[in-house]
Structure 1
């Protein structure tokens, strides 16, 4: 439940950071994978491996998938919004769009989720603090990536539009995810990925003829990393956070992907961080905090009944 007091805010923020890292790494996995594996077959294998892994874990934990047809229809809708369409679009687009531009185009999910929540579903409170968090997060993302990344905007219009469409799908998936509040997080994760695999495998067989593909070892390892960590594990964390942080709060991970990439560059590649980047990181942290940390409950003011007040006033000299 969103705003449940039993949930530790520190735990929720740690999970949000983990999700941001896993999905932030997915851009690199995809970039390497599609070098030798066609996008459609790459995503078909991604959903198949991830769903098979989740099913094995669920069997070990004794969790069963629902047999309700209504629930499976919801799994199918979630699959289209959260895996089939956006996964394929991003994989196709990253054959020509650089990772920095893909990140900034894909970072608008919190804004779209906020607008959808505010204007359409209204299933959770939309506050001025969340709006402030979204604006701060977007400002920080632009500062970190740098305006030079936008120089390629428009050069390859169709791939860029594909990433924007994927962003719209992710926002819709965040809003639609409210339908799975009563389920264990592994159930919608596995169910939606199974539906995704059921759609993508026949398409890849028909379009790509995967038996003719010669994949490099780098692409295969990228596929495994993407499937196990950035899909199976990430989806479980995603649906867990949907129950606690809500739609807008969970999509804050779209902003955290960028600073995580910068910090990895500093530690691993010894890249320099400018003052502008540090300012951007501060904006992102402030924005995520505003969208995810629950507001303190108001302290109730002890008041006397009206008749007692009148009685006291009468006794006052």
Structure 2
């Protein structure tokens, strides 16, 4: 059962925010030489290989249990189904949505919109896990978050993202929230097993699609684009799932969702410093409203 966060858990939370916050920068760089599908497939496959190598080095294998009963076998199949679902909702769908969105949306705007993950987590946890009480304060925080999203997306302006692309980012946020709750169903598995299973299933699903896209579209990726995919795979898709699953097992989905208070800050600062992006009034106000809403909905945790 998840327990109270300890000092080390806050360090892991900051590490997770850095890994994911920087992923929008590297996605933007990778898109200079590859299509959205190719970036998605590349980072997932590299991440899966990295996690398999990690598991092999540390020799963390599940107990074969030759005397397992039928009930145990059914539980094992159920675990595989959960990991397959987590691979789709935690890697394939959100990575594809984010890569497609970042063809027209800045990395900083993407990071800000992703900060809505805790709002989705609160809503889904109430429906699926029924262990997240929703009081007036949290409801007000959720409504404030919706206002923040409306500010970011509404109207016309130089810093307003294209609506379909912005909706794709929100769809990715919903996928991430759902993944956290799915992984709670397999929290009895070691963190490396869950993380590797998620990425391997995701790789099996996306590899044929990526191969076909590469054959049809080709690629003009230079050294920087290739390196960016490698970094995404090794760190954002390889190391980050291990940290996330370990945190989920130790602290629960609510605490892990706090990384989204840090991710938009990391993503925005990196976009400004390394990509020359600017933060306009719309983004500043929207970011403030979203972060306030997340703080309000998480205040009791």
**Residue 57 (str. 1) matches residue 50 (str. 2):** no
Alignment partners' CA distance in 2, 1:44 and 1:112: 26
The answer for the alignment partner of 1:97 in structure 2 is 105
TM-score by length of 1: 0.75
Q: CA RMSD in A?
A: 3.9
Alignment partners' CA distance in 2, 1:193 and 1:215: 23
Judged with a 3 Å threshold, the aligned counterparts in structure 2 of structure 1 residues 264 and 47 are, in CA distance, closer, same or farther, namely closer
The answer for the alignment partner of 2:263 in structure 1 is 257
**Residue 248 (str. 1) matches residue 245 (str. 2):** no
Say if 2:117 and 2:173, in contact at 8 Å, map to a contact too.
yes
Alpha-carbon distance, 1:261 to partner: 4.2
The answer for the alignment partner of 1:204 in structure 2 is 210
Alignment partners' CA distance in 2, 1:240 and 1:49: 21
Alpha-carbon distance, 1:155 to partner: 5.5
Alignment partners' CA distance in 2, 1:150 and 1:166: 23
Judged with a 3 Å threshold, the aligned counterparts in structure 2 of structure 1 residues 60 and 136 are, in CA distance, closer, same or farther, namely farther
Which residue of 14, 17, 30 corresponds with 1:20? 17
- For each residue in 1:10-38, what CA deviation from the matched residue of structure 2 results, as whole angstroms up to 9, or x when unmatched? 11111111101100000001000011111
List runs of 5+ in structure 1 lacking aligned partners.
295-317
Say if 1:30 and 1:91, in contact at 8 Å, map to a contact too.
yes
Say if 1:41 and 1:210, in contact at 8 Å, map to a contact too.
no
Judged with a 3 Å threshold, the aligned counterparts in structure 2 of structure 1 residues 66 and 22 are, in CA distance, closer, same or farther, namely farther
**Residue 119 (str. 1) matches residue 127 (str. 2):** yes
**Residue 238 (str. 1) matches residue 232 (str. 2):** no
Alignment partners' CA distance in 2, 1:33 and 1:97: 14
Judged with a 3 Å threshold, the aligned counterparts in structure 2 of structure 1 residues 66 and 73 are, in CA distance, closer, same or farther, namely farther
Judged with a 3 Å threshold, the aligned counterparts in structure 2 of structure 1 residues 181 and 199 are, in CA distance, closer, same or farther, namely same
Moved more, 112-121 or 84-93: 112-121
The answer for the alignment partner of 1:158 in structure 2 is 164
List runs of 5+ in structure 2 lacking aligned partners.
65-75
Which residue of 67, 70, 89 corresponds with 1:81? 89
SS at structure 2 position matched to 1:16:
helix
Alignment partners' CA distance in 2, 1:130 and 1:50: 39
